[in-house]
Structure 1
Amino acid sequence: MNVTTTLSLKAGAILLACALAGCSSKVTETKQYSGFIADYSNLAPAKTASGQEVLRWVAPDFRLSNYKSLYFAPVIYYPKPMPNKRVTEQTLEQVRLYTDQRLRSALGAHIRIASQPEPGGLILKTAIAAVSAENKDLRFYEVLPVTAVVAGTMALSGQRSQNATLFLEAEAIDVSTNETVAKVVRKGYGGSISNSNAPITQADVKGAIDVMISDVTAYVSN
């Protein structure tokens, strides 16, 4: 078999694997926007301190140090979540509380948290848009002509391993001007789940939240 034929087979296998098993996007896709943020049009790709890809917009003159306080609105789900066998109501509340507590604590180390919006302060609104799971991306050794078909069949039958995912949207608003000064839409990856029928727990999503909080801490520290 010559080099051209080998490359063609590998390329074809990759395309076949993507078609069958699904090549996932590392950022939130337009169709996955929740509507929590009023305007998504000026979001642009950006890299976080941990190297993760996000969609973000920040006003050129925005500095957290310019504000006296932060009103941290409780983290919510938007739209209203639909518990099911994979993600129970209890899990959803555990994920929400953990996100709220970690984010509040991280920001509170850099700015005073106020009990209500104050002049000269900020408002931060945060929503979890989805807690779900998706098939893992295929590795190189899985895209040989035969194994690509096997992996694709496993994905269709629900037996392929998955990653827990968390979709988060946040918007910071200047209290004095009532204008948005920063917003971000982020997709985070948590732990590994054995298959598409296995339940998703708070522990599965925890890693995604922890990385997000670490990136928030690194950003506001600059």
Structure 2
Amino acid sequence: MKSKCLAASLCVAALALSGCASKYVEPEQYSGFLKDYSVLKQGKSASGTEVLYWLDDGLDAKRYTRVYIEPSRLYPQPPPSEKISQDTLRDITRYYDQALQRELAKVLPLAAQPGPGTLVVRPAITAVEASDKDLRPYEYLPLMFVAAQVSSATGIRDQQTRLASEAAFLDGGSRRTVAEVVRKGTGKDLENDAQTMHAQDVKAVLDGWAVDMTRSLQMLRQR
């Protein structure tokens, strides 16, 4: 009987691990910001990070001489909370704008408005959260699982900060969508559920996304 119970516990652990292992945004987590999610496919960004993306077969990135970056937005707009304040939400989009402008300007001059010969970047932050860290493999063993659940219930368990993003890239002349990307990232850990989240906790994620976007554009222009 004990062996059967252990086997059942290990099966539950394996299922739980597989559920936590996905590095892609799941379809049920799509925000509705993009027009068509059916064209997305799994791949890796310029840095090797897992993303969902789509590129128009006829995309010729060399034809663009400028880049126009629309202000990033929170979509859908989340309500502020004690954990994530309105100031934090504002600071996240503000910093993402700065990171995108800083990095993309290394490839193309920034345009003041969209137009012919301009690549339009339309970014959105589609999820901002701070929640209990995923259980590590050893924590799925029965006794450790109970201990982990207790720490979560009492609010002493470390929490992870997470973001998700969707972005569309448009031809500035025709306004036709030429590329899309969906991805997520994990920021700094919070010590417990009483610690509030700040933009500083996810700046490395936003910087990484901006750098990745820039490298991808460079690679497309070199094709």
Task: Please name the residue that 2:104 is paired with.
Answer: 107
Match of 2:70 among 56, 73, 77: 73
Amino acid at match of 1:60: D
Alignment correspondent of 2:7: 8
Counterpart residue number, 1:23: 20
TM-score by length of 2: 0.86
> Structure 2: how far apart are the matches of 1:123 and 1:50?
22
Q: Structure 1 residues 129, 70: CA separation in 2 closer, same or farther (over 3 Å shift)?
A: same
| Equivalence map 1:100-139=2 (5 Å) | 100-139=97-136
User: Which residue pairs with 2:32 in the alignment?
Assistant: 35
Q: What's the CA shift string for 1:54-94, capped at 9, x where partnerless?
A: 11111233243221222211111112231110111111111
Q: Which ranges of 4 or more aligned residues in structure 1 deviate by more than 4 Å?
A: 4-7
Match of 1:150 among 143, 147, 150: 147
1:211 and 1:217 map into 2 onto residues whose CA distance is 10
Secondary structure of 2:78's match? coil
Instruction: Look up the equivalent residue of 2:177 and give its one-letter code.
Output: T
Structure 1 residue ranges without an equivalent (≥5): none
How many Å separate the matches in 1 of 2:36 and 2:154?
A: 38
Give how far 1:24 is off: 6.2
Give the percent of matched residue pairs that are identical in Structure 1 and Structure 2: 38
AA aligned to 2:96 is: T
Q: How do 1:46-85 residues align onto structure 2 when only pairs under 5 Å count?
A: 46-85=43-82
Amino acid at match of 1:132: E
Contact map agreement 2:67 2:120 (CA 8 A) in 1: yes
Q: Deviations over 1:29-63 (max 9, x none)?
A: 22221111111111111112333211111123324
Matching residue of 1:161: 158
Unaligned residue ranges in structure 2 (runs of 5+): none
When the two structures are aligned, how many residues end up with a matched partner?
217
Root-mean-square deviation (CA), in Å?
Answer: 2.6
SS at match of 2:128: strand
Partner SS for 1:210: helix
Q: In 2, distance between residues paired with 1:202 and 1:34? A: 21
**TM-score, normalised with respect to structure 1:** 0.86
Q: Aligned letter for 1:180? A: T
Q: Is 1:141 the counterpart of 2:152 in the alignment?
A: no
Partner of 1:218: 215
Q: How far off is 1:176 after superposition?
A: 2.8
